[in-house]
Chain A
Amino acid sequence: MTLRWPTSSAPALRRAAMIALAVVLLALLWEGYKLVFPEDGVHIGDSLVLPRSDDASMPHLKEIVSVFGQDEVSGSAGSSTVFSSVVSAVWYSLRLAAAGFAVGVAVGFLLAVAMQRARIVERALLPYVVLSQTVPLIALAPLVYGWSGNLTLFGADWQPWMSVSLISAYLAFFPVAIGALRGLESPPPVQTELLSCYAASWWQTLVRLRLPSSVPYLVPALKLAAAAAVIGAIVAEISTGLPGGIGRLIISYAQQATGDPAKVYAPIAGAAVMGLFAVGVVSLLDVGLRRYQTPEGVS
């Protein structure tokens, strides 16, 4: 994933145009499919090979857009609109994801530093770090959710939302641990030897050499972690049933799909925007840390 901050306004404009074009293409694809293919899908023999294109399966885009303006509970005056429900659910989930991201980044980074510090730690830990990602998230969620009410941490009871943030952190720490480890180990021998000739301590070498060298590896890793934290939060909300967030909203709107098929897509769109927003915010790091992005030409 190479999301580079544009250096002048011309590439920025081109990028914005490309994104707009991608959205338009996606919309055309959606409506074009509805136009071309039969309502009950394409069958070979008895099996469905292309999905149905009727209005219940694939509502028109303008239906989906108009859903945002509807009342959440139709017919009841004073109920909030779908739009405001989605926004507040996104805001709620985003905060859980942010907490998970913060914990995940801290843990991943500390693991990377420990692994870089001692080869034996790397050999001991790295297989487990990789193994951790092969455990299906869905399997962990109920386990972690069961902690609430049964666990007290530093005098505070374990809250249900903490389980969601923890699962989000569990997804987010991995890219950071791997990326930071590669980054911390990226300085060439000539530079680490120079620092050792200067009698620099381990800490000085970390701060003056390894950390700055790790930036080109760390920033993409943080972007991946941001996306992973968002996905982790949503999946955890769905599988634990925690109310208030976008995950729960996806479930509850899906249950109303027969009556209002377009409504399902509103929280899904919200979740997509939420992921883009999270990655976008982390991408701002590119601006602040641009001088640590290594250009060519130094030997």
Chain B
Amino acid sequence: MSVEPAATAAAAVNLAGVGKTFAARGRGSATEALTGVDLTIAPGEFVSLIGPSGCGKSTLLRIVADLVEPTVGEVLVNGKPARRARLDQDYGIAFQQSGLLEWRTVRGNVELPLGLHGADKRERRSRADELLALVGLEEFADHRPSQLSGGMQQRVAIARALARRPALLLKDEPFGALDEMTRERMQSELIRICAETSAAVLFVTHSIPEAVYLSNRVVVMSARPGRITDIVDVAIGERDEDVREADAFFGAITEVREALRGRRVA
């Protein structure tokens, strides 16, 4: 996989000098959530954001998603301003909570983003079935979300995020609420799904092994004010289960950990 930021304007994400200050509320003073963020994500590239709580990694993802407006800086998604990209639905998104609509079936939930913008019924259905097969839930298409385990609900959320074949996936700690075993299985599945869809991914996580296992690059952030302090290139070859026990994997984990403590020697 190519990890070089593409020189063309069609980078999946291009952030230049992005900063966000939350205005003071009541007696509190204004908070500088992010400052001076420059980051480019190439098409098909998997980039993780990692850092302590309050380092602004979720805020950064929400700025890319146009859920939060940056105070300064420029945000381009697929070469378009973030708002345009949101309105064109250039990205798919998944949060820690699956946010599934309980009154819809699993299939109905995957169809939701398709139904909002005029896809006809047959088209929606066939796309939803295709996606449910991709995440291995075709048998559960007519179930209610509450009948599914937490891991399965997350898989539905991933299928839903892929519905419009986005070139970019935004994921805000999607596996944060899952147990360790489920989590590792979901990570392997995500790698497979990304390979099949060739979407770029911006992935927010608290977990160092998760970031290393999934990513081409790990972006390390620190708090007060939130900023990028380091970017670790991960070169550990093919992601199979053996990788988790390979020296290169632990080497990369150490590298990210040192970077988080601000002691990394490049």
Contact = CB atoms under 8 A, between A and B. Distances in A.
Given A198-B113, A297-B146, A190 B99 contact: yes
Nearest to A297: B146
Contacts of A294: 102
B116 interface: yes
Contacts of A199: 86-89, 116-117
A291 B101 CA distance: 11
Interface string B108-148: 00001101110000000000000000000000000011110
Interface stretch (B22-30, B42-50, B90-98, B208-216): B90-98
A190 B117 CA distance: 20
Interface residues of B, number: 28
Interface in A187-222: 188, 190-191, 193-194, 196-200, 204, 208-209, 212
A208 B88 CA distance: 20
B102 to A, nearest CB: 5
Given A197-B86, A299-B153, A292 B103 contact: yes
B6 interface: no
B146 A295 contact: yes
Interface string B159-190: 00000000000000000010000000000000
Contacts of B153: 298-299
A46 interface: no
Contacts of A196: 67, 86
B65 interface: yes
Interface residues of A, number: 22
B100 interface: yes
B73 interface: no
Interface string A204-246: 1000110010000000000000000000000000000000000
A286 B27 CA distance: 47
Contacts of A188: 97, 99
B150 interface: yes
A98 to B, nearest CB: 28
Given A194-B93, A208-B112, A291 B103 contact: yes
B198 to A, nearest CB: 21
A198 B67 CA distance: 11
Contacts of B93: 194, 197
Contacts of B101: 191, 208-209, 212
A291 to B, nearest CB: 5
Interface in A173-194: 188, 190-191, 193-194
B146 A296 contact: yes
Contact of A191 (B91, B99, B116): B99
A219 to B, nearest CB: 14
Given A198-B112, A198-B113, A193 B67 contact: yes
Nearest to B105: A291
A198 B116 contact: yes
A197 B61 CA distance: 12
A298 B103 contact: no
Contacts of B89: 197-199
A298 B116 contact: no
A190 B67 contact: no
20 contacts: A190-B97, A190-B99, A194-B93, A197-B65, A197-B67, A197-B89, A199-B89, A199-B116, A199-B117, A208-B112, A209-B101, A212-B101, A212-B103, A291-B103, A294-B102, A295-B102, A296-B146, A297-B146, A298-B145, A298-B153
Given A193-B99, A194-B93, A204-B116, 11 more contacts: A196-B67, A196-B86, A198-B116, A198-B117, A199-B116, A200-B116, A208-B101, A208-B116, A209-B101, A298-B100, A298-B145
Interface of A: 188, 190-191, 193-194, 196-200, 204, 208-209, 212, 291-292, 294-299
